[in-house]
Amino acid sequence: MTSVTAPAARPFRAAQYLAALALLGAFALRVAVLMQGVDLPIVRDEAQYDKFARQLLAAVGARDIFAYTEIYRPPMYPAFVALAFLLGGAERFGVGLMQALLDTASVALVYALTRRLFHRSGVALLAAGLYAIYPEAVALTRQFYTETLFNFLVLMTFYLLARFAPTRARAPLFAAGVALGFAALTRELVLYFALLVVPVWFFIGAGGFKRAPLIQTVVFGAGLLLVLLPWTARNYTLEGRFVPIATEGEKNILQDNLKAMARVECGTKTNRPDAAVIQCIPFAVMSREILNGAPKGERMRAAVNGALQVVAKYPFAWLNAKLEPLTLLWAPPNWKLHYFRAKTLDDAGRNLFNWVVGSYHALFLVGAVVGLVVARDDAAKLLVTLYLLYVLAIFIVTHFQARYREPLFVVFMPYAALGIASAVELARRRVPVREWFSRPRAYVGGGLLALIVLLMLKSL
C-alpha cells in the first residue's frame, strides 16, 4: 500500500491577516464617524462641490457635456461626488460611504508603498495602522472636500513611481503619469510638480542629461497628457483661452498676496478675522476688479504681476505674512478646526479630543523626522523631499489652511512608521546606535527633531 504524503500546510501569514484587520478597522472607524455626522449641514466649500456635482449630473442627463460650464474649480472631485450621488443618493451618507471605501483603499496603498520602500512587513503594518487612525483623514472622509480623493491619487502616484525607480520599467511610469493627471484634475497644485519636479527627479536619478531620462519624461508626460488634454481642450472651447485645468489659481495667487498687503498696511495680525482687514482694504473686491478688468487671455499675467508688486513693495513683511500660516504644519490640531465639526463636545470631551489628536500629531511628526534621517538615501527619499519643498513653495505663493497638510502628511506615513519602529528597536537595544547614524546625519537628525519639538511647544 502506497502511502500518500499530505501537502505541506500553507504557512500562516500573520502580516496579511493584520493588514486585512487594519483595512476593516479603518473602514469601520470611518463609517462610525460618518454615521455620527450624517445630518451635518453642507457648508463652506462643501456647498460649492454639491452644486457643481448636481450641475454635472444635469449635463450628463442632457447628454451635453458642454452644458456643464464650470471652470473655476477642477472637475475631478465634482465628478466623484456626482458618481456618489448616482450610486448612493444625493446625500452626505452616499458620498461619505464612497469616501470611506476610497480612504480604506488608501490605507492599503500606504501598506504597499511602505513594503515597496523598506521591504519590512512590520513597518508596513505600522504605517497602515497610522493612516487607519489618522484623525484628520477620518474626519474629512465624511465631508465634501477633495482631500480623500486627492490622497488616494497621490499615494497611487508615489507607489507607481516607487515601482518604477529600481527597474526603470515604463508601464508603471506611464501609469504614474495617468494617476498624477487625475490628481491634478482634483487639485491643480500638483500639475507643476508633474511638469517641473518629476522630470528633474528623472535626470538626477540618471546622473545628468542623458537619453534615458528624456525617454522617461516622454513616457510619464504621455500618461499625464492623456488625462489632461481633453479637459484643457474643453476649457479652450468654453473660455476661448488656454486654461490647463481651472481658473481658481488666478484668484488664489492675486487675492492671497493682496491679503498679505492688506494685513501689512492695516497693521493687523494674521490671526485676526478677515473682516477687520476687509474694512481697511477690501482685498477680495480688489482681486475681482483686477482680474475682471484684464482681457481673458491676460488674467493669469495680471494675477502674477499684482502678486509681484506686493512682494516688491513689502518683501520682508510679505514673507512674514506668508510664512506665519505655515505654523499650522506643526501646530497640533484641536477641536476648533472647522472640519472636525466638534463644537458639540463638552469641556471634558474637548480636552480629551485635543489630547488624542495632539498626541497623534506629535508622534507622527517626530516619527517622520527620525524616519527620514534613518532611511537610506535613495530615489524615493529624494522624490518625497522634492515633493515637500515644492508643496511648501506653492503654499507660500498662494495660501495655506490646516487641512491642506493632510495630502502632504500621507506621503510621509512610511517614514513616520520607520522612525517609530527604529526608535523601538533602539530602546530594546536591538540596533546599536552607531549603525543608525553616521555622525553628520546624527547631528542633522537631532537638530531637526529639536526644532520640530520646539515649534510644536511654541504653537500650544
State how far the Cα of 76 lies from the Cα of 154, in Å rounded to an integer.
14
**In contact, 271 and 321? CB cutoff 8 Å:** no
How far apart are the two ends of the chain, measured CA to CA in Å?
A: 78
The answer to whether the pTM exceeds 0.95 is no
State how far the Cα of 421 lies from the Cα of 282, in Å rounded to an integer.
51
Residue 258 amino acid letter: L
Q: Which three cell numbers stand for residue 193?
A: 510638480
Along the 460 residues of the chain, how does pLDDT read in single tens digits? 444 444 444 444 777 888 889 999 999 999 999 998 888 888 888 999 999 999 999 998 888 878 888 999 999 999 999 999 999 888 899 999 999 999 999 999 999 999 999 999 999 999 999 999 999 999 999 999 999 999 999 999 999 999 998 888 999 999 999 999 999 999 998 999 999 999 999 999 877 778 889 999 999 999 999 999 999 999 999 888 899 999 988 888 888 888 777 777 776 543 444 445 455 667 777 888 888 888 888 888 888 898 888 888 888 878 877 777 777 777 888 888 888 888 888 888 889 999 999 899 989 998 998 898 888 888 999 999 999 999 988 888 887 777 888 888 999 999 999 999 988 887 776 656 555 555 555 555 666 666 666 655 555 5
Q: Count Cβ neighbours within 10 Å for each residue of 356-394 and write b for 16 or more, e otherwise.
A: ebbebbbebbbbbbbbbbbbeeebbeebbebbeebbeeb
State how far the Cα of 413 lies from the Cα of 81, in Å rounded to an integer.
27
Q: Cα angle at 144 between 140 and 149, to 5 degrees?
A: 70
State how far the Cα of 9 lies from the Cα of 406, in Å rounded to an integer.
43
Q: Count Cβ neighbours within 10 Å for each residue of 52-75 and write b for 16 or more, e otherwise.
A: bbebbbebeeeeeeeebebbebbb
State how far the Cα of 453 lies from the Cα of 185, in Å rounded to an integer.
36
State how far the Cα of 358 lies from the Cα of 335, in Å rounded to an integer.
10
Residue 452 has a pLDDT of 61
Nearest C-alpha neighbor of 170 from the set 219, 225, 203: 219
Residue 11 has a pLDDT of 43
Sign of CA dihedral 66, 68, 69, 73: negative
Query: Which residues are CB-neighbours of 145 under 8 A, at least 6 positions away?
Result: 45, 46, 49, 339, 403
Residue 377 has a pLDDT of 85
Residue 12 has a pLDDT of 44
For residue 4, how many other CB atoms are within 10 A of its CB?
6
Residue 188 has a pLDDT of 92
CA distances from 248 to 209, 253, 268, 308 (A): 35, 9, 26, 18
Q: Cα angle at 116 between 204 and 365, to 5 degrees?
A: 80
CA distances from 303 to 12, 114, 213, 292, 312 (A): 60, 40, 34, 11, 14
